[in-house]
Chain A
């Protein structure tokens, strides 16, 4: 089996659900840069994010300034239903993280939460739970079956700057080649500059679809990541706890599942993005 259609077939159910949320966002017209919660406003936040399709992106067809994506949809619903208004702006990934860590009343999403970053923010977590795998190019599978991560020691692994997963692999002694943007790894696979791309499932599937570069199935799913909203320490503990409680309720009442599953087949309808 090779190619995106076969690849899509083997995606797990959770991944398919994720696509649905994306489509919902598209159909509902996307998330605008300034959002106002219904009713009385209790908190006004500055929100920063960065382009990381399909979690956060600007569509070619959307009006200028609209920010979309699964993470954006979840964050919007979370804040909107908790009485928080916000203004959103996009920055490069590293700058977004630094900006939020240094600017009062500001939060950044969707960043990977880990021990190294723990002290930088007050956390609302997890807005997404993702699994990362090692993706080869379709038709060029990893020669030796990977039974454990250690079997990937001889591989050239692609990642991108600011990726906590890439940093994780590097810290364990793996050969990691970081591109400036995540989707550049699809092209690096195509030109045989890396053997596998360390990516979460949804990003790999989305990139394969939009770039037209077919990926093979993950050779090994090696890591589980919590994606979160990281807030400057000035955002009060009371608000962090309130938003966290609402987020957990969204998991338990099925809201997040609904966001994920509403139009789960949509990714195959998405047109390639022109480069």
Chain B
């Protein structure tokens, strides 16, 4: 070992196994990992730790998989190569559709074959992981067999999303790698135009602004799609969504529509005892999704949500939207012909802030803003405010321990403070308090349309992923796109589809209960009937007869809810 003149924290010397490795680290810090919240000395110390701790695994090739967003492309194309140069561990970082990630994880669990040494798997599966005992409990691993490969400066307290990746048993099952929220998106430049504001007020009787509820959102959608139609010679629409029969259609509905319609109960993170999927839990056991069993999946609020989704897609979105999926629709906004979108994933921020597009001005600032999504008629204060995705490192017990350790080193490298600020700037899916609060993010804020403001607010805790009521995300998520796809295609009414889906959920819960002996495994409750449950407090709630009064706010007022 050789000793560098630089010192970590000005205390302990940094030990390098050879000069070549030190040179590689110095180049990485200079050429790639700037800016950072660490000093260059601290970065060197972290990279020296990775180089030294990886020695037993040098020469190994490991394989990991993640979904298809900018952050993961940066990891696969740049960071995996940097890690290889530094440690000698070759990483094949596959990028594929989110549903493929889940199906591959499921295949490893079902067959026992080690497909991957690590998965970046959404924390939406936390309800599955804590009930099935097949994912490694990282808190235990880090203290015991993984102690020698756990980064001393990992600093778990610095992660903003750790609450999403713990089970009710308190164990940490996943480590966040990237996070993005689901927010309202709109063209601030159009909303500020005096001519459009005057036309809107004349027609609807109130100010054009950030819609606070679905009634206002619908008015604005109608205004741009039906009445304005053309802006600066281009056909424009007041609503964007997607409807292709595809797994991502399911996320569209389960992530947002039902929760903001007001389907679940009050109580964060997901509603208690009925969550935004409409699943009732008693003593941590899912007992049913149908109204007849106390769930809310076929409740008036859920049916209202799906009816609005299908109706607005048909009436206000571009005709092509019905044939688009998550990725295709996400990239559509850059064309500059959409006025607003009720749910928009901030994972697309990087794509929508590129210069020389119709939605970015000449100074590089976006013409659009993100804001809290409007609420549906059944929504009440205290209910979930929105969805957040936390793609998180997940390791399965069926992976050989040495391979898992090498993958754990790579995982920590990707979220280390040496790397994370640069990664956050590239992908704009931050995971650390220190990055979000950095001067770099302050300087960047005017160019990100509200992303920094959101992540500096309480919003980062209030916008939550799918919770622990959902005992088997992979299995149950299939129903969403199947049934809602039939509504989009006109094969079923929303009511019929949600009633059928609720029955399928109940049956699935019953089957899961027979193959899982965990203390929080599902235990289907008795059928007491809709009349009984609709007359109890909370979800499921009776059909409303009152119409929502439309309400809008200006941007500054609208985003106060984050604070």
Contact = CB atoms under 8 A, between A and B. Distances in A.
Contacts of A224: 63, 65, 94, 104, 115-116
Interface stretch (B73-81, B120-128, B208-216, B423-431): B73-81
A114 B104 CA distance: 10
Contact of A129 (B65, B115, B248): B115
Contacts of A125: 103, 107
Contact of B112 (A114, A148, A150, A251): A251
A7 interface: no
A114 B111 contact: no
B485 interface: yes
B98 interface: yes
Contacts of B113: 129, 251
B98 A119 contact: no
Nearest to B77: A150
Contacts of A126: 107, 111
B246 A148 contact: no
A223 B116 CA distance: 11
Interface in B470-517: 481-482, 485
Interface string B93-132: 1111111100110010011110110000000000000000
Contacts of B462: none
A44 interface: no
A150 B63 contact: no
Nearest to A221: B92
B247 interface: yes
B243 to A, nearest CB: 12
A150 B76 contact: yes
B84 interface: yes
B375 interface: no
A226 B95 CA distance: 14
A248 interface: yes
B80 A115 contact: no
B100 A119 contact: no
B81 A148 contact: yes
Contact of B247 (A115, A226, A252): A115
Contacts of B116: 224
B541 interface: no
A113 interface: yes
A149 interface: yes
Contacts of A150: 76-77
Contact of B76 (A114, A149, A251, A252): A149
Nearest to B79: A148
Contacts of A251: 110-113
Interface centre among A115, A150, A224 (most CB of B within 10 A): A115
Contacts of B246: 115-116, 118-119
B485 A248 contact: no
| Candidate in A114, A119, A226 with the most chain B CB atoms within 10 angstroms | A119
With most chain A CB atoms within 10 A of its CB, the pick from B103, B115, B247 is: B103
Interface in B229-282: 245-248
A222 interface: yes
User: Chain A CB within 10 Å — which of B84, B92, B247 has the most?
Assistant: B92
Contacts of A148: 76-77, 80-81, 93
Contacts of B94: 222-224
A164 to B, nearest CB: 10
A145 B282 CA distance: 56
Mostly, the A contact residues are mixed
Nearest to A123: B103
A224 B104 CA distance: 9
B361 to A, nearest CB: 28
Contacts of B417: none
Interface string A207-220: 00000000000001
- Chain B, interface size category, equals 20 to 34
Contacts of A226: 103-104, 107
A223 B112 CA distance: 19
Contacts of A220: 92
B367 interface: no
A77 B426 CA distance: 49
A172 B110 CA distance: 30
A226 B97 CA distance: 13
Interface string A107-124: 000000111101100000
A172 B73 CA distance: 10
B293 interface: no
Nearest to B478: A118
Interface string A74-92: 0000000000000000000
Nearest to B93: A148
B384 interface: no
A118 B102 CA distance: 12
B90 interface: yes
Contacts of A172: 95
A241 B95 CA distance: 28
A218 to B, nearest CB: 11
A28 B92 CA distance: 38
A168 B97 CA distance: 10
A222 B65 CA distance: 11
B73 to A, nearest CB: 8
Contact of B111 (A113, A118, A149, A252): A252
Interface string A148-175: 1110000000000000000010001000
B97 A114 contact: yes
A118 B104 CA distance: 13
B107 A129 contact: yes
A243 B549 CA distance: 53
B482 to A, nearest CB: 8
Contacts of A119: 245-247, 481-482, 485
Nearest to A252: B112
A118 B97 CA distance: 11
Nearest to B504: A237
A60 interface: no
A219 to B, nearest CB: 12
A128 B61 CA distance: 21
A125 B248 CA distance: 20
Nearest to B244: A119
A233 to B, nearest CB: 9
Contact of A248 (B96, B97, B99, B110): B110
A143 interface: no
Nearest to A113: B103
Given A126-B107, A223-B94, A118 B115 contact: no
A113 B102 CA distance: 12
Contacts of B76: 148-150
A118 B99 contact: yes
Point out which of A113, A147, A222, A244 has the most chain B C-beta atoms below 10 A from its C-beta.
A147
20 contacts: A115-B246, A115-B248, A116-B97, A118-B246, A119-B482, A119-B485, A125-B103, A125-B107, A129-B115, A147-B81, A148-B77, A150-B77, A172-B95, A221-B92, A223-B94, A224-B94, A226-B103, A244-B110, A251-B110, A252-B111
Nearest 9 Cβ contacts at the A-B interface? A115-B97, A251-B111, A150-B77, A115-B99, A248-B110, A147-B81, A119-B245, A115-B100, A126-B107
Given A126-B107, A147-B81, 19 more contacts: A115-B98, A115-B99, A115-B100, A115-B247, A116-B246, A118-B246, A119-B485, A126-B111, A129-B107, A129-B113, A147-B84, A148-B93, A221-B61, A224-B94, A224-B116, A226-B107, A244-B110, A251-B111, A251-B112
Interface of B: 61, 63, 65, 76-77, 80-81, 84, 90, 92-100, 103-104, 107, 110-113, 115-116, 245-248, 481-482, 485
